[in-house]
Structure 1
């Protein structure tokens, strides 16, 4: 029959400190009292086996408690009955003299470091990465040589670990791993009592489809190459700086919207607005140019609808505060025409937008890294990128339109693929079930207009001109003059300011609005900007003009002059390679027609003839 456990008296056989019972948690009080009685019995002369059996304490636990009770704590007093607290651990700084182990065994490496404090400091000083599977670490190899040299300097060749087959390499790696994990766990424990903060909307509310959409841009993990012409009329492949994918995904149904593909070192505000427009624009399958590429029979997108008014609009969109995301035109147009809440979060914090990050990872693993040049980026364990594809992108140059076709097909197939996070339902099933249940969604007959207005730049302009000098009224914006026949005699408007709108895809036209918001006149750009072009293209041309590497004065088409310059420099300059691929110039390679022979060509054709010998008189003879 078990003996009743009473509050133990202070042990008189040894002057050991006794912690107060209020220091012990309530759930550990019973176990604490058992250990106190068992330790008191051992100190009074009972055997460990007898005391352990009598008071229900594990024998090995009681043995370690007895050994630790007499050791000194950091406060200079014996640990005493403090070792009876279940969660209490003896400080590691108090160790008895330990000998260097002769052979390997449980705890041998820990005893080695305990016997050689200087060696432990050396091991703790290593902050480099550890070798992983098929990923060696040169820093660790240098450190391991120092580790072996220290042991040899102590003449411990016959002791562990130098007498083992690997000289302690694996034991050293495992000890460092456990030590680093212990530090991380300790840091996590210190933060457990920190105040809980809300970082996402789904932590506050139960979200439904289209309540929150995450949008972001992703730089693809692939070394893309483009085929570009050379000056001698041949072709070569040059490295592309980067290709970006901008996409949006619903956080509840995980349905992905049509994406935007951007070629270049980064993307800008117009690319962001185009991606926002894709969440409102009705989706239609592309006309694929890849021969064997086909859409799935039931390919689907969240914006799949016949008319824009039937498209279901997101209630809120989460993006980070990247420069292109918080540009003036971006924030103003989204605020006026997105008709929802936009949450600007911190950049490089995937926890704030985990669903779009997971979608990009899924797209990389399933599609992009399988293409020629695809790789896994370097991480903490691996200092260099690891190529996944066995094909070289130099031998398989990228076609931007074909890549757009591929990504569009893959996203439409992803939306009808069972997802493990949705209990193996497809994003389409979750999305459409929400719609069919009659739950709250947003639809508007202004969706088509809002989609176009998202891509329109609004700006205040002043009409200029001079009647005395015969200068017709015009408007100047970004080095381009805009005129209209309707303004030829309206000198009364010169000096007045109006609101103007320019569509980002039609920068050759400008609409002027009066004070009442009515359309006053539509202006056309004069040469060399009179041809259809986008604001992005004009900015690219003006950058070259400002750098003095391109001249467009006297030309009828600034865009054609820019394209010709890009073709000439595509094999020499990085940005020209990007522009050649972005503008699709390979598909529009100019065809040089043979010019008609001129009078000068006919005269030059006589240059190879040998003149007659003697004097030649070419004067016209008078007829007799």
Structure 2
């Protein structure tokens, strides 16, 4: 039924005073003018204004008016119309429906799976009914708990209707995360439709937002901060040395830039970035806080025409009293990396900070970080040859892609560009700071205030603790193989001389402490005995993870590649070196191999024995054969 027919059958739909309306403060500032123009055009049509007059006054054609009206009259799952909410730029009112099947020839896929799970449920009603039965009768249990309970039986039912090389069996996690998201969405739609008011069920209210500051001028530096990740509007190509010293190039990539900003001074306290267009993990969030703690030093710049401004830098490196300063409050959005165990434990336990999670899809609760992201894009990254406007024409992206290929850079050069641009931002004057820069404002505040400050003497130690995780593991071993006791973690078996001799500890629990951004070949373990713990010292990883120093992120990348290709480890080498040599050999012909090398970061060579030292050790220090 067309829009005109619907309005003829139900003329009461023309009464826009009954339509749901969003609040202006809930719409992004850059989208507010466009929303108001759309609203006036639709209202004018419903009041009888001709299409010619609307085109002249509001610059919308007849087809555009009908399209906007169709969106406004679309019914929500709760039974109400979207109304003027559908006119907000960027708002999606229809769920994505996948049309093409998942390629069955690719194993352990992690990309190109948008809408695959919904497609699976739409094609097989028996799967949908099985999930629906357990999701809606689980009471207050979380979607994660429900998915974990039904996943085994769910995969058995999938095996009856899908081949082993079809979705979800050809994915990295066999649809585990998609199942959790589907249960969440199903329960949300069910209970919102049951209550009859989707806005009330989602927790809408007319009061002030929880994370909105009451007044930034009343705050002191480091008292309240905001943190957010932003997908940069620029492309770049990473170049690195291949196996024989030649240059190998990645495909054009983007990155996530994570920033920590102070509300009082508008200063960027710390940052980190994540290569690739996929979302960022918790480790990237913690790296931005580590960067804010460790005293900053300017980088050695090798790119021409790249330089720091006068007064540029980060507070930890230019303010004597800003070194080692601790943050009191951090305002986050609800990204999974921000609610992860590593983030919450590190910031609350180690730093003693309070975490404030704003409402979903309401960036106005974090105005300073959103404004900073907009300024960096408009006046920073988009002005680079490799920058582009995501809302601009396709030719703009093509130009940026071509420039990225022509101006390939190394990882070190990318670090220089990002560091200089953010450090220079801290040297720009702000009208709200009486034309002082953020760095000048912090130095002025620290020079005048006598209030006690939360500081630490050893930022390096606290930064190391921020990147630690603890696990409770069971000691394995024994049995028919009579294997010595060991602890298994992330696909590696850890042990040492002390644990090998403790055969009576098999089956008991140990507490593991891991520095996930350091060398995870070495972990610290404590054997639990009642309320006491017996230190076991440092456990070392066994083959094939024992030679090359590596982080948790590097091991995950290599394990994922091994799951797909079954890497063969040569004697005297290990998994990291096998992965590195294989990707270097393939990088010349396959750029996806160069992409994996760039994301894995620097993989150092294994330590080789010192032959001169070994020769000296083999020579006896005293004559044990008497010569006559």
Same fold (TM over 0.5): yes
Q: Distance in 2 between matches of 1:464 and 1:524?
A: 15
Checking the alignment, whether the CA contact within 8 Å between 2:577 and 2:605 is kept in structure 1 is no
The 1:361/1:521 distance shift into structure 2, 3 A limit, reads same
Match of 1:286 among 288, 296, 299: 299
Q: Does 1:223 align with 2:235?
A: yes
Match of 2:317 in 1: 304
Match of 1:202 among 213, 236, 239: 213
- Secondary structure in 2 aligned to 1:547? helix
Match of 1:174 in 2: none
Q: Distance in 2 between matches of 1:575 and 1:254?
A: 39
The 1:541/1:208 distance shift into structure 2, 3 A limit, reads same
Match of 1:250 among 262, 280, 291: 262
Q: Which moved more, 1:447-456 or 1:509-518?
A: 509-518
Match of 2:375 in 1: 362
Match of 1:581 in 2: 598
Pairwise CA distance, 1:291: 5.7
Q: Distance in 1 between matches of 2:48 and 2:510?
A: 79
Q: Does 1:522 align with 2:538?
A: yes
Pairwise CA distance, 1:262: 1.5
Q: Does 1:120 align with 2:43?
A: no
The 1:311/1:517 distance shift into structure 2, 3 A limit, reads farther
Q: Does 1:563 align with 2:576?
A: no
Q: Distance in 2 between matches of 1:455 and 1:423?
A: 38
- Secondary structure in 2 aligned to 1:258? strand
- Secondary structure in 2 aligned to 1:202? coil
Match of 2:336 in 1: 323
- Secondary structure in 1 aligned to 2:511? strand
Pairwise CA distance, 1:310: 4.5
Match of 1:497 in 2: 509
Pairwise CA distance, 1:571: 5.8
- Secondary structure in 2 aligned to 1:488? helix
- Secondary structure in 1 aligned to 2:404? coil
Match of 1:550 in 2: 567
Checking the alignment, whether the CA contact within 8 Å between 1:240 and 1:264 is kept in structure 2 is no
Match of 2:436 in 1: 425
Task: Map Cα deviations across residues 443-502 of structure 1 (whole Å, 9 max, x no partner).
Answer: 134644321111112111122222885422211111101121233322132222111011
Q: Distance in 2 between matches of 1:463 and 1:522?
A: 15
Q: Which moved more, 1:273-282 or 1:497-506?
A: 273-282
The 1:228/1:451 distance shift into structure 2, 3 A limit, reads closer
Pairwise CA distance, 1:566: 2.5
Q: Distance in 2 between matches of 1:116 and 1:454?
A: 58
Match of 1:51 in 2: none
Runs of 4+ in 1 over 6 A off after TM superposition: 113-119, 121-124, 141-144, 228-234, 305-309, 386-391, 587-590
Match of 2:404 among 374, 388, 393: 393
Match of 1:404 in 2: 415
Q: Distance in 2 between matches of 1:247 and 1:416?
A: 16
Match of 2:226 in 1: 214
Aligned pair count? 422
The 1:276/1:534 distance shift into structure 2, 3 A limit, reads same
Pairwise CA distance, 1:293: 3.9
Q: Distance in 2 between matches of 1:308 and 1:518?
A: 40
Task: Map Cα deviations across residues 525-582 of structure 1 (whole Å, 9 max, x no partner).
Answer: 1121112100001111111122235344867221111122333444666753432323
Q: Distance in 2 between matches of 1:116 and 1:337?
A: 59
Checking the alignment, whether the CA contact within 8 Å between 1:305 and 1:311 is kept in structure 2 is no
Match of 1:20 in 2: none
Checking the alignment, whether the CA contact within 8 Å between 2:241 and 2:247 is kept in structure 1 is yes
The 1:294/1:553 distance shift into structure 2, 3 A limit, reads same
- Secondary structure in 2 aligned to 1:394? helix
Q: Does 1:464 align with 2:476?
A: yes
Pairwise CA distance, 1:390: 11
Q: Distance in 1 between matches of 2:304 and 2:52?
A: 62
- Secondary structure in 1 aligned to 2:238? strand
Task: Map Cα deviations across residues 375-434 of structure 1 (whole Å, 9 max, x no partner).
Answer: 01117xx68856787971111113222111122123222222212332211111211222
Match of 1:506 in 2: 519
Task: Map Cα deviations across residues 189-208 of structure 1 (whole Å, 9 max, x no partner).
Answer: xxxxx944234342278322
Match of 2:13 in 1: none
The 1:334/1:442 distance shift into structure 2, 3 A limit, reads same
Match of 2:115 in 1: none
Match of 1:269 in 2: 282
Q: Distance in 2 between matches of 1:246 and 1:370?
A: 20
Pairwise CA distance, 1:524: 0.9
Q: Distance in 2 between matches of 1:214 and 1:114?
A: 41
Task: Map Cα deviations across residues 87-121 of structure 1 (whole Å, 9 max, x no partner).
Answer: xxxxxxxxxxxxxxxxxxxxxxxxxx999997726
Q: Which moved more, 1:318-327 or 1:551-560?
A: 551-560
**What does 1:162-173 align with in structure 2 at a 5 Å threshold?**
none
**What does 1:4-403 align with in structure 2 at a 5 Å threshold?**
120=50, 130=59, 140=61, 195-203=206-214, 206-227=218-239, 237-266=249-278, 267-290=280-303, 293-296=306-309, 298-304=311-317, 310-378=323-391, 392-403=403-414
Q: Distance in 1 between matches of 2:427 and 2:302?
A: 23
Q: Distance in 2 between matches of 1:491 and 1:114?
A: 83
Pairwise CA distance, 1:265: 2.3
The 1:383/1:468 distance shift into structure 2, 3 A limit, reads closer
Pairwise CA distance, 1:344: 1.8
Pairwise CA distance, 1:141: 9.7
Q: Distance in 1 between matches of 2:47 and 2:477?
A: 87
Checking the alignment, whether the CA contact within 8 Å between 2:324 and 2:457 is kept in structure 1 is no
Q: Distance in 2 between matches of 1:114 and 1:220?
A: 39
The 1:363/1:231 distance shift into structure 2, 3 A limit, reads same
Structure 1: segments with no counterpart, 5+ residues: 1-112, 132-139, 145-179, 185-193, 591-624
Q: Does 1:450 align with 2:462?
A: yes
Checking the alignment, whether the CA contact within 8 Å between 1:258 and 1:283 is kept in structure 2 is no
Task: Map Cα deviations across residues 159-200 of structure 1 (whole Å, 9 max, x no partner).
Answer: xxxxxxxxxxxxxxxxxxxxx9xx99xxxxxxxxx9442343
